[in-house]
Amino acid sequence: MRVSVVLCTYSPDMYEHFREAAESVLGQTYDDVELVVVVDGNDNLYDRVREEYSERENVVLHCNDENVGLLESRNTGAELASGDVVAFIDDDAIADEQWVEELVESYEEQDALAAGGKMTPKWVAGKPDFLPEEFYWLVGVTHKGFADGPGWVRNTFGSNISFRRDVFLELDGFDTDIGGRKGDKNLQGGETELCARMRQEYDEQVWYNPDAEVAHKVFDYRTALQWLCDRAFWQGYSKRVMETILPGSGGEEGDFLRLLLIESTPEHLSEIVRNPSFASVSRLVMLYIFTVLVGFGYLYGAWKR
pLDDT at 24: 98
pLDDT at 187: 55
For range 256-271, the mean pLDDT: 82
Confidence of residue 185 (pLDDT cuts 50, 70, 90): very low
Q: What dihedral do alpha carbons 248, 213, 30, 63 form, nearest 10°? A: 70
pLDDT at 254: 62
pLDDT at 267: 86
253 vs 239 pLDDT, higher one = 239
How far apart are the C-alpha atoms of 285 and 272, rounded to whole Å?
Answer: 11
Which helix (DSSP H) or strand (DSSP E) does residue 121 occupy? strand 114-123
**123 pLDDT above the threshold of 50:** yes
Confidence of residue 251 (pLDDT cuts 50, 70, 90): low
Q: Measure CA 233 to chain center.
A: 18
pLDDT at 305: 63
What CATH number is given for 3-304 in this structure? 3.90.550.10
| Closest by CA position to 87, among listed 143, 171, 163 | 163
How far apart are the C-alpha atoms of 278 and 256, rounded to whole Å?
Answer: 25
Domain ranges (residues) in the chain: 3-304
**259 pLDDT above the threshold of 90:** no
Over residues 25-35, the pLDDT tens digits come to 999 999 999 99
Over residues 59-115, the pLDDT tens digits come to 999 999 999 999 999 999 999 999 999 999 999 999 999 999 999 999 999 999 999
**184 pLDDT above the threshold of 50:** no
